[in-house]
Structure 1
Amino acid sequence: MAEAIRMPLLSDTMKEGVIAAWHKKVGDKVKSDDVIADVETDKATMEVMPYVDGTLLYIGVETGKAAKVNEIIAIIGKEGEDYKSLLQEEPASEKTEDKPKEAAPAESTGSKETSKQEPAASNKPKAAPVPTDATVVRMPLLSDTMKEGKIVAWHKKVGDKVKSDDVLADVETDKATMEVMPYADGTLLYVGVKEGEAAKINDIIAIVGKEGTDISGLLDNDLHTQNAEAEGQPKASDQAGIHAPAVASETKNESKGDSTDGVEDGRIKASPLARKIAREKGINLVQLQGSGDGGRIIKRDIENYQPVSQEKAAPAASSTAKGFVPAAVTTGEEGYTDTPVSQMRSVIARRLAESKFSAPHFYLRMTIIMDQAMAARKRINEISPVKVSFNDLVIKASAMALRQHPDVNSSWMGD
């Protein structure tokens, strides 16, 4: 009889586990003490053994994907044995819950309910056909704390032949840089994320299939899914659409908001990725109002930006242009340089900042002989119309040191 291998509870705080690697594939013979997979938890990476002899009939979770505790990840039994009954046991409750919702329009007899639901049903067939001979490669979940992955390098380009065990790309996470494989043979038909750019978990990064396959259905289907999710959370997109036409009438309020939330010490607060995209699209950051923490401009603000027509922008500029905003742009864009960091260094910096409040600290002091500095200050003040203080000397020395060691003259902005 076939045995289901479920995601084990490997720690008290564990809610799900990520399949770091499969050591066996479907059809392989396994023994009870064989290691069939490595599971990464919130604590460590541990091995999973089947504790039964037989043939690996089914793998339910791909490498890099997560499964909840007690979810079926594999099935072992006799070769050729029917194991579908085991799979039907687990999702049965979900399917029975979903079916009444789908059948509700057919069973309902009220004219009002059917009239409301008919437009929704008529819109569904508009989706483009999805090809069955193409495999979508999505951004995998490579660590429990990972929210997005950055494509460090592509090892294949569109049109190249790929095998299931070829390395398609290198993905940088908040922990390390790891390789992504397609797990399918074919031709690389589509690359969705450029080198140096990031993609969220489960976003399409590539499509592999037969040469000449029409993949528009896959992309349209994914876009339709993203739009459906966006409709459920209208704050990001709807607010951008609502506020865009009202720029001319609300420019005074926005300029105040920019000076407090979007601008800090004469510098426009924006993430490095947002600045890069803005430069590529020719968008002036001062025209945007950030939706990030403290009014910080992020990637979503650039993507949702709608340029204001000159007719609307002209009265706004004449009524609010008092010289402050241009000054902010000049100092903000020329006074500093954004240096992107790897996700690993980002995590290190964030944890280091948090340690200020969670770990005891000690401070070092040193004594400096200031006799020569005092003598120099005395000589300068004898000939200079502006008196020089000891603070001025310290600031001058600090500035000279920072010129020699520019890496010290940096601040962690949280991104």
Structure 2
Amino acid sequence: MATEIKAPTFPESVAEGSVAAWHKKPGDSVERDELIVEIETDKVVLEVVAPEAGTLAEVLVEEGDTVESEQVLGRIGEGAASGGERGGAEAASEAPAEAKAPAEAKAPAGGGKQHEVKAPTFPESIQEGTVASWNKQVGEAVKRDEVLAEIETDKVVLEVVAPADGALSEIKAEEGSQVESEAVLALFTEGAGGADESGGEDKAPASADDGASDAKVGDKILAPAARKLVAEHDLDVSKLEGTGKGGRVLKEDVQKAVKDGSAKKATKPAGGAVQAAAAAAPAVEGERPEKRVPMSRLRQTIAKRLVQAQQTAAMLTTYNEVDMGAVMDLRAQYKDTFLKAHDTKLGFMGFFVKAASEALKRFPDVNASIDGTDIVYHGYQDIGVAVSTDRGLVVPVLRDTDSMKIADVEKGIVDFGKRARDGKLGIDEMQGGTFTITNGGIFGSLMSTPILNPPQTAILGMHKIQERPMAVNGQVEIRPMMYLALSYDHRMIDGKDAVQFLVTIKELLEDPARLLLDI
């Protein structure tokens, strides 16, 4: 009896989705809970797994078709051979080469089912990614769901995990190569591992010879990994000898050239005047190393967005200062009790997020965004908090901060910081903010001018708390002061509103009781 494969139940806000990809064809055997098809909605990509083990007997909707919630997508027949009459011969005739290659790969590994290891399905806003690293090599034993590779996009690092226990039989996308959504990265054999030592070394160079991302430099054709090494060591491409198919320069060829120094660029001056100048220059003793590495995709995106913000927005910055004494006293009084009650530390960011949420309600222009020639007013407060990582700055978003408690804010920020440094933040967690707060004070910054995070129209900059002499009721007192900076888009926000917004935050922080009393 056939088992129906149904689309998931969509959330109320999602009316329909489209079939992004079928991972099985009619006639293919499937295991229970194995991924069969992916449904892409306007918000998320939903995975549909096999409800029972058997054979995919029928596909009712093709890739690209629009489907509704719980619609029947296909059917699974009983047994491994139930769909063989329909799909088995067809699959064999369509891809005899593919059937042969897995058989050859499985033989030394002990004979297991072979899978294609594919890149994740990228969201619409991401066109491609870079293979950041392979955590496993050909022939190395791995467990199911163990991380095989990492794909770096301009927003997050995505992990590619093993589909079963086994080993990689072939790597098709080397480190540094560009890959598209669902591109085949490698071949994986179930039950393999440790027995492929003799053949694994030969397969790796072959994967670098995959011409999908090769590039011609001068009269040479370079594989992606080779290009990366050439850039890092600043080599003369014309001096490289390629051993790959068609004379392609592989990663191993570049490594050999680096080792024997045969591809170094000539440093001889071009003319006599240059030679004279070089001779007159004082000799520098000791090594003067330099290292050239490609800019990461995240850093490229950050650079592009920052330049875009300066080019498209009429950006101004207004400054003020806040006496942090009241917040610091409150924090010192309740930090131990707060830690016991909520299992998280009481920091300053919770107060700033709550103060900003209140100020955004009073000044809706600051909480708005610009979309072309339209102004979008948001009836909620989603505040992004800038987090610094080794790879660059990311801005995860706290949702509906007006209804959050200070403890919830602090827990959320701690969680964001940990997962950002581990590269575990999801793309949806960094989209859709209405306002941003950045804290340069943790690095010692006394004052700075933050740059807008488009399409938002304002960003608040926090800074170092510095004790300074201040006039208080006619007396000079040493007070813990912080400079605040609000950068805003003058196309949307008038100077008066920007100043009053910042003053509101200052007043709420200098008298935290206002946050509780909503005054």
Q: Same fold (TM over 0.5)?
A: no
Using the size of structure 1 for normalisation, the TM-score is 0.40
Name the structure with the higher helix share.
1
Name the structure with the higher strand share.
2
Using the size of structure 2 for normalisation, the TM-score is 0.34
